[in-house]
């Protein structure tokens, strides 16, 4: 099925670049200029084909492994390889560097579709694309891009290392130190709650080269696991269990000076700007999660009969389902509005915060209701509905808590009205 989709997509708008097995390997995925305003549900043919392809990949390849990966708290290597084979690990990256050259919205589409089946796989793809790849595309030198982006597009998973024990919401209170030593920097410190870190081979590490300058000493380095990055602990979590979350230790980690991204002291600027984009990715993950829970539970309400009629047709249940559909649609519009604003080069920080906040609220709300709609069946692991609720809790925590999003939104409102 995926091979057929590949042939169909290429016959219409794609040309082979790296591997004949990869689906999205052309730079023709950019949204065409429209002459009149379009709805937020209007997508280019290429974006729609990507959605269809990711949907089939998620259903055919990911879905059969979801429960096993959740129970084992481990990502199946074949899933990661499948994402690379389908060209989904370099969605915005230039074809010259092994990527697909597609739009930011294309990345959001892929994240949403994967989350409908498994939010763990979705966040792996999300962090790799919207954080790691984007940092290199926006701030890496030409030499750095040519060296690292092909690897990230074709075979090596990336990880974004910012958070520490003392720096969660206050990200710039980080303690990891980098000291100049000739043509190298020596890093010492640790990172916590780092997504993708167990399987990753390439790491973006934020460390302070001059604590006396405060956040202006924070610098972004790129490193590989083989340089000596140590995984100190792999967390056991409530949800997104197949997605690895680890503590990393750096003990005299030597990184060449040429591996600084964006220049000395520019790490704080990189982190702030990239996390604004990343929040749209998390919004898409929560949106897909909510839709996935809805899609699993609602059909059951029309199959299950009590008192001589499907339970979904009782007014109390029907109204709950209708409200959930409204909530999901509102989250979808917020998410894709933020994505399009970002693509158009307009301010999107407030809109990204709104999308992430509301999608996280909706994900928890809908996933919780989906369990109740299915009753005892929904409470069991067999249906997979309860997993969506467990996975939904992280949306209010990572890449900026819900309170941080509300604070960001409030500041924009205060600026506008005061």
Q: What is the pLDDT of residue 25?
A: 55
Closest C-alpha to 275, from 405, 409, 175, 407: 405
Q: Are 91 and 134 in contact (CB under 8 A)?
A: no
Q: What is the pLDDT of residue 23?
A: 59
Closest C-alpha to 84, from 129, 141, 138: 129
Where in the chain are the domains?
45-157, 160-265, 268-417
Which CATH class name applies to 268-417? Answer: mainly alpha
Rounded distance between C-alpha atoms, residue 202 and residue 53, angstroms: 27
Closest C-alpha to 277, from 351, 328, 332: 351
Q: What is the pLDDT of residue 33?
A: 52
Is the pTM higher than 0.75? The answer reads yes
Does 1.10.540.10 match the CATH number of domain 45-157?
yes
For 89, half-sphere exposure in the C-beta direction (CA atoms, 13 angstrom radius) is 26
Selecting among 47, 258, 399, 416, the annotated active-site residue is 399
402-417 and 349-373 helices, crossing angle to 10°? 140
Q: What is the pLDDT of residue 194?
A: 98
Rounded distance between C-alpha atoms, residue 225 and residue 157, angstroms: 11
CB contact set of 55 (below 8 Å; sequence gap of 6+): 113, 116
- β-bridge partners, 221: 205, 260
CB neighbour class for 175 (10 Å; exposed up to 12, middle 13-18, buried from 19): middle
Tell me if residue 46 is catalytic: no
- β-bridge partners, 190: 249
Rounded distance between C-alpha atoms, residue 112 and residue 328, angstroms: 12
What string of pLDDT tens digits covers the 418 residues of the chain? 333 343 344 333 333 333 445 655 554 455 555 557 788 889 999 999 999 999 999 999 999 999 999 999 999 999 999 999 999 999 999 999 999 999 999 999 999 999 999 999 999 999 999 999 999 999 999 999 999 999 999 999 999 999 999 888 888 899 999 999 999 999 999 999 999 999 999 999 999 999 999 999 999 999 999 999 999 999 999 999 999 999 999 999 999 999 999 999 999 999 999 999 999 999 999 999 999 999 999 999 999 999 999 999 999 999 999 999 999 999 999 999 999 999 999 999 999 999 999 999 999 999 999 999 999 999 999 999 999 999 999 999 999 999 999 999 999 999 999 9
Cα Rg, the chain, nearest whole Å: 21
- Given the candidates 2.30.29.30, 3.30.1330.20, 3.10.310.10, 2.40.110.10, the CATH classification of the domain at 160-265 is 2.40.110.10
Q: ∠ CA 369-285-20 to the nearest 5 degrees?
A: 135
Q: What is the pLDDT of residue 5?
A: 41
Does residue 229 sit in helix, strand or coil? coil
DSSP string, 303-327: H-EETTEEGGGSHHHHHHHHHHHHH
């Amino acid at each position: 099925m995926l091979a057929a989709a590949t042939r169909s997509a290429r016959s219409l708008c794609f040309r082979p670049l790296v591997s004949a097995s990869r689906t999205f390997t052309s730079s023709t995925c950019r949204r065409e200029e429209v002459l009149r305003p379009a709805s937020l549900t209007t997508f280019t043919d290429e974006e729609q084909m990507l959605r269809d392809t990711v949907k089939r990949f998620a259903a055919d390849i990911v879905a059969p492994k979801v429960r096993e990966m959740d129970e084992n708290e481990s990502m199946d290597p074949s899933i990661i390889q499948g994402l690379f084979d389908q060209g989904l690990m370099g969605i915005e990256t230039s074809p010259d560097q092994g990527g697909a050259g597609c739009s930011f919205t294309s990345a959001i589409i892929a994240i949403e579709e994967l989350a409908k089946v498994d939010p763990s796989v979705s966040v792996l793809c999300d962090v790799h694309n919207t954080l790691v790849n984007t940092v290199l595309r926006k701030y890496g030198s030409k030499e750095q891009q040519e060296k690292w982006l092909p690897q990230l597009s074709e075979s090596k998973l990336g990880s974004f290392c910012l958070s520490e024990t003392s720096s969660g919401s206050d990200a710039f209170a980080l303690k990891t130190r980098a000291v100049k030593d000739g043509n190298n920097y020596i890093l010492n410190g640790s990172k916590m709650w780092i997504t993708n870190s167990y399987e990753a081979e390439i790491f973006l590490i934020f460390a302070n080269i001059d604590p006396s300058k405060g956040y202006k000493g924070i610098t972004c380095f790129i490193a590989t696991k083989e340089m000596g990055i140590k995984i100190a602990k792999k967390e056991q979590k409530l949800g997104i269990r197949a997605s690895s979350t680890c503590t990393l230790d750096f003990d005299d980690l030597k990184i060449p000076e040429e591996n600084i991204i964006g220049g000395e002291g520019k790490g704080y600027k990189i982190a702030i700007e990239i996390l604004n984009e990343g929040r749209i990715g998390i919004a898409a993950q929560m949106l897909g999660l909510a839709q996935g829970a809805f899609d699993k539970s609602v059909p059951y309400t029309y199959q299950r009969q009590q008192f001589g009629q499907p339970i979904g047709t009782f007014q109390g249940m029907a109204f709950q389902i209708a409200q959930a559909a409204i909530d999901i649609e509102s989250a979808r519009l917020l998410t894709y509005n933020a994505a399009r604003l970002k693509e158009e080069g307009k301010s999107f920080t407030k809109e990204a915060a709104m999308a992430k906040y509301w999608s996280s609220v909706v994900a928890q709300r809908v996933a919780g209701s989906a369990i109740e709609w299915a009753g005892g069946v929904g409470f069991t692991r067999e249906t997979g509905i309860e997993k969506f609720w467990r996975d939904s809790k992280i949306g209010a925590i990572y890449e900026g808590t819900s309170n941080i999003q509300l604070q960001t939104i409030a500041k924009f409102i205060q600026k506008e009205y005061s």
